[in-house]
Amino acid sequence: MNVADLIDLLLQHSPALIVAVPLLGAFITPLISRLNDKVRNIFVILTLGLTASLVFLLASDVFTGNIHTYIFGSQDLALPVVRILFEVDAMSAFMAIISVILSLVAVIYSWSFMKENTGLDKYYTLILLMTAGMLGMELTGDLFNFFVFLEITSISSAALVAFWTNKAKSVEAGFKYIVISTIGALFILFSVAMFYGQYNALNMAMIASAIQYTFLDKIALVLLIAALAMKAGVVPMHMWLPDAYGKAPSSVTLILVGTTQASLYGVFRVCFTIYGGAINLSSISVGWILVILGIITMLLGVAMAIIQTDFKRLIAFGAVAEIGYMLLGIGTGLVVMLNPEMTATGLAAMKGGIFHIMNDALDVGLLFLVAGAIYYATKETSLNKLGGLARNMKYTTVFFIIGLLAVSGMPPMNGFASKLLIYESTYQLNPILSIIAILSSIMLLAVFVKVFHSAFLGPALPKFENVKEVPKSMLIAMGAIATIIIIFGLFPELIINNIVEPAANALVNYGGYVREVIPSFTGGV
Amino acid sequence: MIFNIPFIAVAALILIGLYAVIFKRNLIKMVIGITLIESGVNLFLITLGYREGSIAPIYTSSPGGIMALPVPQALTLTSIVIGVAVLALMLSLVIHIYRHYGTLDVRKMGGPEE
């Protein structure tokens, strides 16, 4: 067998392998852990590296416009519900790229960051499980399967949030997180049951083709959006997020950013695909609900960030504010989607929102890694006790400046590219929306400049005299993200044309998604 | 089914569970509330697949007649297994919280930031 055939075979089976590789890796990790710690770390990095290369292989094919399906169970599509279907379009591939990059960076970062902890075999097992769950949520085409992967992700991430069990606050945050996720997941299951009772289908494409927009469907829509928005940390359901982000180890926080975005992906999939046919009736109201939620999320996140004194908690509220921009972008797209005069605006808003998902993951992720580095070096997270660190930690300082500029949407960082798209398109919908968005960005800049000033500048404090720069693996992890941020910022067109635009088109073109499973389907554009 | 009793039971279970999660101050009672919601959802799934007078869906040596739909039962089994994992994790976190604070009452928790 030659190489081209092998790559074809890998490509064909990649949707299954992307979930199977980290899942199997997770259960082999404890065994390898008995040999040697270093071997285990290398094994975990290799496992995620293999997953990442499979994701890139699949994505390179999907971004040309193909949709991949992978069938577990009966191949005869005429038989109902005797299979689980993975369906990968450009949006799923886009999200999978984000998740896998975050997990890989987090594992590299953990090498030094978690070195002094015990129970690392469990830590790495849970990280791999969490990655498998996240990727499963993004690739699956089956609603019940989505629920199962959601639960895998929540269980492993709750255990990881509470990983430092010697700290009361960490355990408390973990408990809060599992309670919130479980209730959310149960309501998702409830709405899945409603769909099954009406349409005898669990497959997203089948439900989308049969949906009648009955009263029960409206209830299911409310439950799905509320539960997934709760998992995504949208205000007013955000109260668990600062606790979980703030108290988890920094490497875990990085992956938690990925899980919240996987839930956000669920919101978009529900609005655009499952309710794609009913969107004629609902797009205006559902779109406006997303826009208003986005605005509230932005303002409240930023306002709460200003008054925080804990480094990680402050960044967590910044992350809440960033989620608002994505909702605003996608919501605007949904509102103007049916207005033929504003198609370009709608597409620009969607592109901005989707691009911002990736940018937010990188920017906020980098800031959390810097916060972790400072904690590692000083064992301190309160901003009132930090100061003068730029003298001893020059690389970390540079990375923080990059993250600060990117998160507040300053050129030439990537945050600017996506936020500009959102400002421009929302201005055409309603100028007030873009004014609020710009205002929140400026406030974010103010917040992070304050952090920069109190943590890195100022006189040298005697207790931090012996603080050293963090170890290499943490610098590599932060450097990798910073490099991607600058590249995305300098060449945004490249990313938008090749990755973001296919994703936006895939999300809008729900007919294509459905036709991949039900060829006779005629709806959609 | 008489007066749709199973569906009324579903609604009652979920509402009682939500009440416990929102208003009870004891962590164990909150956990019980979550398991109640879960039972409600599971009962909903099972009820959807049941028809009056139907038999278990075992195709070999079936006496004939209508059968209950097996898919919701498979879903419920999966959901029960997930529920056990969540329950175990929640209770182990409760144990850790109790070790730190010496109480299960959320009002008495807190203390200084570390």
User: How large a percentage of chain A has pLDDT more than 70?
Assistant: 97
Q: How confident is the model at residue A280 (pLDDT cuts 50, 70, 90)?
A: low
What is the pLDDT, as a whole number, of residue A279?
A: 58
Query: Is A290 within the bounds of a domain?
Result: yes
Contact predicate A40/A52, CB 8 Å: no
Question: Within 13 Å and on the Cβ side, how many CA atoms surround A124?
Answer: 35
Q: How confident is the model at residue A283 (pLDDT cuts 50, 70, 90)?
A: low
**How many domains are contained in chain B?**
1
Query: Is A17 within the bounds of a domain?
Result: no
pTM: 0.94
Q: Does B56 touch chain A (CB under 8 A)?
A: no
Return phi, psi of residue A140, to 5°: -75, 150
Return phi, psi of residue B55, to 5°: -110, 175
Distant-in-sequence, close-in-space partners of A355: CB < 8 Å, separation ≥ 6: A417, A418, A421, A492, A495, A496, A500
Nearest to A147 by CA among A99, A82, A84, A216: A84
Contact predicate A340/A233, CB 8 Å: no
- For residues A114-119, average pLDDT: 88
Verify whether the Cβ–Cβ distance B75 to A155 is below 8 Å: no
Q: Does A190 touch chain B (CB under 8 A)?
A: yes
CA A343 to chain centre: 27
Query: Is B91 within the bounds of a domain?
Result: yes
Separation of alpha carbons A147 and A155, rounded Å: 12
Ranking A101-105, A259-263, A506-510 by mean pLDDT, the lowest is: A506-510
- For residues A61-65, average pLDDT: 88
Query: Is B76 within the bounds of a domain?
Result: yes
Name the DSSP letter for residue A83. E
> Facing residues of A73 across strands?
A83
**How many domains are contained in chain A?**
1
Q: Is the pLDDT of residue B107 over 90?
A: no
Query: Is B29 within the bounds of a domain?
Result: yes
Verify whether the Cβ–Cβ distance B93 to A171 is below 8 Å: yes
Separation of alpha carbons A508 and A206, rounded Å: 17
Q: Is the pLDDT of residue A132 over 80?
A: yes
- For residues A429-435, average pLDDT: 91
What is the pLDDT, as a whole number, of residue A278?
A: 63
What is the pLDDT, as a whole number, of residue A105?
A: 95
Q: Is the pLDDT of residue B6 over 70?
A: yes
Q: Helix crossing, A501-508 with A343-378: angle to 10°?
A: 120
- For residues A332-355, average pLDDT: 84
Name the DSSP letter for residue B32. H
Query: Is B30 within the bounds of a domain?
Result: yes
Query: Is B24 within the bounds of a domain?
Result: yes
Verify whether the Cβ–Cβ distance A171 to B48 is below 8 Å: no
Q: How confident is the model at residue A524 (pLDDT cuts 50, 70, 90)?
A: low
Q: Is A6 exposed, middle or buried (0-12, 13-18, 19+ CB in 10 A)?
A: exposed
Q: Does B20 touch chain A (CB under 8 A)?
A: no
Q: Is the pLDDT of residue B1 over 70?
A: no
Nearest to A258 by CA among A245, A273, A239, A272: A245
CATH number for the domain spanning B98: value is 1.10.287.3510
Number of continuous H segments (helices) and E segments (strands) in chain A? 20, 2
Query: Is A379 within the bounds of a domain?
Result: yes
Query: Is B113 within the bounds of a domain?
Result: no
Separation of alpha carbons A307 and B36, rounded Å: 38
Contact predicate B54/B65, CB 8 Å: yes
What is the pLDDT, as a whole number, of residue A403?
A: 93
Q: What is the mean pLDDT of chain A?
A: 90
Q: Is the pLDDT of residue A255 over 90?
A: yes
Separation of alpha carbons A362 and A354, rounded Å: 13
For residue A203, give the 3-state DSSP assignment.
Answer: strand
Interface TM-score (ipTM) > 0.85? yes
What is the pLDDT, as a whole number, of residue A83?
A: 82
Q: What is the pLDDT of residues B77-105, one digit of tens each?
A: 999 999 999 999 999 999 999 999 988 98
Q: What is the pLDDT of residues B15-67, one digit of tens each?
A: 999 999 999 999 999 999 999 999 999 999 999 888 888 888 777 777 777 88
Question: Within 13 Å and on the Cβ side, how many CA atoms surround A285?
Answer: 8
Look at A137 and B53; give whichever has higher pLDDT.
A137
- For residues A416-427, average pLDDT: 91
Question: Within 13 Å and on the Cβ side, how many CA atoms surround A492?
Answer: 19
Verify whether the Cβ–Cβ distance B96 to A162 is below 8 Å: yes
What is the pLDDT, as a whole number, of residue A351?
A: 92
Question: Within 13 Å and on the Cβ side, how many CA atoms surround A305?
Answer: 30
For residue A78, give the 3-state DSSP assignment.
Answer: coil
- The one-letter code for the residue type at A522 is T
Chain A neighbors of B93, CB-CB under 8 A: 158, 162, 171, 174-175, 178
Q: How confident is the model at residue A174 (pLDDT cuts 50, 70, 90)?
A: very high
Which structural domain, as residue segments, surrounds residue B83?
2-52+66-108
Which of B93, B94, B113 would you mutate first to test chain A, the one with the most A CBs within 10 A?
A: B93
**What six digits make up the tokens of A79?**
């038989």
Separation of alpha carbons A519 and A511, rounded Å: 10
Query: How far is B63 from chain A, CA to nearest CA, in Å?
Result: 24
What is the pLDDT, as a whole number, of residue A513?
A: 87
Which of B96, B99, B103, B104 would you mutate first to test chain A, the one with the most A CBs within 10 A?
A: B96
Return phi, psi of residue A69, to 5°: -120, 150
Verify whether the Cβ–Cβ distance B82 to A148 is below 8 Å: yes
Q: Is the pLDDT of residue A43 over 90?
A: yes
Which structural domain, as residue segments, surrounds residue A331?
281-490
> What is the interface size between A and B, counted as CB pairs within 8 Å?
81
**What six digits make up the tokens of A420?**
């500009």
Ranking A219-223, A475-479, A484-488, A521-525 by mean pLDDT, the lowest is: A521-525
Contact predicate A281/A213, CB 8 Å: yes
Chain B neighbors of A183, CB-CB under 8 A: 21, 34, 37
Distant-in-sequence, close-in-space partners of A476: CB < 8 Å, separation ≥ 6: A108
Which residue stretches of A307-393 are H helix? 311-336, 343-378
Cα A442–Cα A445–Cα A448 angle in degrees, nearest 5: 150
Nearest to A44 by CA among A113, A117, A126: A126
Separation of alpha carbons A517 and A142, rounded Å: 11
Nearest to A414 by CA among A478, A352, A492, A298: A492
Verify whether the Cβ–Cβ distance A159 to B45 is below 8 Å: no
DSSP string, A433-486: HHHHHHHHHHHHHHHHHHHHHHHHSSSPPGGGTT--PPPHHHHHHHHHHHHHHH
Q: How confident is the model at residue A38 (pLDDT cuts 50, 70, 90)?
A: very high
Look at A341 and A392; give whichever has higher pLDDT.
A392
Query: Is B46 within the bounds of a domain?
Result: yes
Return phi, psi of residue B6, to 5°: -60, -40
- The one-letter code for the residue type at A265 is Y
- The beta strand positions in A93-190, using DSSP E, are none
Q: Does A390 touch chain B (CB under 8 A)?
A: no
From first CA to last CA, the distance across chain A in angstroms is 41
Query: Is A238 within the bounds of a domain?
Result: no
Query: Is B60 within the bounds of a domain?
Result: no
What is the pLDDT, as a whole number, of residue B111?
A: 62
Q: Is the pLDDT of residue A75 over 90?
A: no
Considering only the beta carbons, identify the residue of B44, B90, B113 that sits closest to A175.
Answer: B90
Look at B63 and A380; give whichever has higher pLDDT.
A380
Considering only the beta carbons, identify the residue of B30, B41, B97 that sits closest to A186.
Answer: B41
Look at B32 and A457; give whichever has higher pLDDT.
B32
Q: What is the pLDDT of residues A77-100, one digit of tens each?
A: 666 667 888 999 999 999 999 999
What is the pLDDT, as a whole number, of residue A80?
A: 63
